[in-house]
Amino acid sequence: MKKILSLVLSLVLIVTLVGCGSTAPVQSASPTASQGQSGANSPGPAEKTVKIGLIFPLSGSNADQGVFNVDGAKLAVEDINAAGGIKSLGGAKIELVIYDNESDSDKCKNVAERLINENPDVVAIHGASASAYVLPMLSVFEKAGIPFLTAQTSETITSQGYKYVFAFAAQSPQFAQTQVDMLEWLNKELSLNITKVGIVYEDTEWGLTNSAAARKSIGASETLELVYDQSYTASSSDLSSLVVGLMDSGCQVVFPTSYTQDAKLLFNTMVSYDYSPLIIGGGAGFLYPVFGADLGDLVGGVLSVASHSYDAATIRNDNTYSDVGERFEKKYNYFMPEQGVSAYNAVYLVSQALENSASTDGEAVMNAIRGLKISSLTPGGALKFLENGWSENGVAVMVQWQKDNDGVFRPHTVFPASEATVEFQLTDLLKSLQKK
């Protein structure tokens, strides 16, 4: 037991509803499945509303991500409505219509079609927690002329020529480069000389695009060598072959792309094989509250790449939403995860587009989103949407789990310097490597 505890402590992981806002019933991908209930403060019958659609996994293997997104969106709705709603539309209040894709990419297109058919007045839609869920829906939104916003990382989302599709966060190339930059910073600042890199990734759109970007960034480095490159089936029951392959290759640092279940399995399998490489992953499973809950005190010092962070300098330095993380945690009793921040941001961006356009027409809202030049909750500064619908100013950040004064571990932004709000904490493993 002491041996395992020591190993866990030595690992440094540098890795990648409900509110008072107006809310329609949660709709399942299956018409016969059970449905949720409306929010307590739904608009009265005479009150003017505008609908924003949400499509997320609220059941199935990725249901935790759906909850994060819905909670973030609901907090944004509560804030916007409390501030007077959409003033250019006579104070219209925002209402969410929420649909469950059941963590199944094969059902996503049908869910998107049902949302639109059942809510023809929806002004914009946000989703869907994974690139594999997003891609099947894009043609539906484009055909209907309804703006769709996402924080997913695949470049394929914005490479198909769609006018109504917007990606406002860092994409896979920025994720990979931030992983490499962090490793090179550690090597330089701490004299670690860690050069042999392995990449492991789930065989989904997200995993494939992240791994492709990692190959490119590693290949461009003058000091790093890619020694292992292997995919695996998402939600696997056994990752021992990956771990053995990493060990045989002499890999010193791993870049994994995994959601919660696989992230925990990979970590535990490494422990069982007495293998302790540096881990620099692609976010997701290493960012969520359950990861910290499962590790307990052992989560201290763990880091992760992320597209959004509640305490990034972009948020902390803007009085409009500088305290959004604290208010989220007070309301929902868990810290605001990456996808909670991005969902809040999506609703905020739609509200700004509605204010600017003073219209609920799909084309008018689309053009207003495209023309936004505002700072938002996405790290990197003011939005700058390119012709393909991607905001090129978004940057990926590194967060580190640290114990706060109240004794609770939370992730805090530590890299890059432009977005860091707390100092990087040196871990026991890095201290030991410095001595060698």
Q: What is the pLDDT of residue 28?
A: 60
β-pairing, 148-150 vs 122-127, is parallel
Give Cβ neighbours of residue 68 (< 8 Å, ≥ 6 apart): 288, 337, 338, 339, 340, 343
Determine what percent of the chain is predicted with pLDDT higher than 70.
88
What is residue 135's DSSP assignment? G
Q: For 71-119, write each residue's pLDDT tens digit.
A: 999 999 999 999 999 999 999 999 999 999 999 999 999 999 999 999 9
With beta carbons less than 8 A apart as the criterion, state whether 399 and 181 touch: no
Domain ranges of the chain: 2-14+173-311+397-434, 19-172+315-370
Q: Is 125 helix (H, G, I), strand (E, B) or coil?
A: strand
Q: In a 10 Å sphere around its CB, with 0-12 CB exposed, 13-18 middle and 19+ buried, how is residue 278 labelled?
A: buried
Does the structure show a pLDDT above 50 at 145? yes
Does the structure show a pLDDT above 50 at 8? no
Strands in 22-27's sheet, in edge-to-edge order, are 22-27, 93-100, 49-56, 122-127, 148-150, 165-167
With beta carbons less than 8 A apart as the criterion, state whether 265 and 202 touch: no
How large is the average pLDDT for residues 127-154? 96
Measured between alpha carbons, how far is 22 from 182 in angstroms, rounded to an integer?
Answer: 41
Within 13 Å of residue 291, how many CA atoms lie on the same side as its CB?
33
With beta carbons less than 8 A apart as the criterion, state whether 80 and 351 touch: yes
Can the peptide bond before residue 173 be classed as cis, meaning omega within 30 degrees of 0?
no
The residue among 377 and 33 whose pLDDT is bigger is 377
User: Does 2-14+173-311+397-434 carry CATH code 3.40.50.2300?
Assistant: yes
Distance of alpha carbon 62 from the chain centroid:
12
2-14+173-311+397-434 and 19-172+315-370 have identical folds: yes
With beta carbons less than 8 A apart as the criterion, state whether 363 and 383 touch: no
Q: What is the pLDDT of residue 19?
A: 36
Measured between alpha carbons, how far is 13 from 10 in angstroms, rounded to an integer?
Answer: 10
User: Does 19-172+315-370 carry CATH code 3.40.50.2300?
Assistant: yes
Which range scores top for mean pLDDT: 80-94, 206-220, 252-266, 274-288? Answer: 80-94
- DSSP letters along 277-334, please? -EEE--SGGGTSHHHHHHHGGGGTT-EEEES--TTSHHHHT-TTTTTHHHHHHHHHSS
Which regions of 234-293 does DSSP assign to beta strands (E)?
253-257, 278-280
The residue among 43 and 129 whose pLDDT is bigger is 129
Strands in 196-202's sheet, in edge-to-edge order, are 225-232, 196-202, 253-257, 278-280, 13-15, 303-306, 397-403, 409-415
Which regions of 107-151 does DSSP assign to beta strands (E)?
122-127, 148-150
With beta carbons less than 8 A apart as the criterion, state whether 124 and 79 touch: no
Q: What is the pLDDT of residue 226?
A: 98
Q: For 374-428, write each residue's pLDDT tens digit.
A: 989 999 989 989 999 999 899 999 988 899 999 999 999 999 999 999 999 887 7
Q: What is the pLDDT of residue 303?
A: 79
Determine what percent of the chain is predicted with pLDDT higher than 90.
69
Average predicted confidence (pLDDT) for the chain: 88
Q: Which two tokens stand for residue 166?
A: 């917007």
Q: What is the pLDDT of residue 121?
A: 97
Does the structure show a pLDDT above 50 at 40? no
With beta carbons less than 8 A apart as the criterion, state whether 71 and 339 touch: no
Q: What is the pLDDT of residue 436?
A: 54
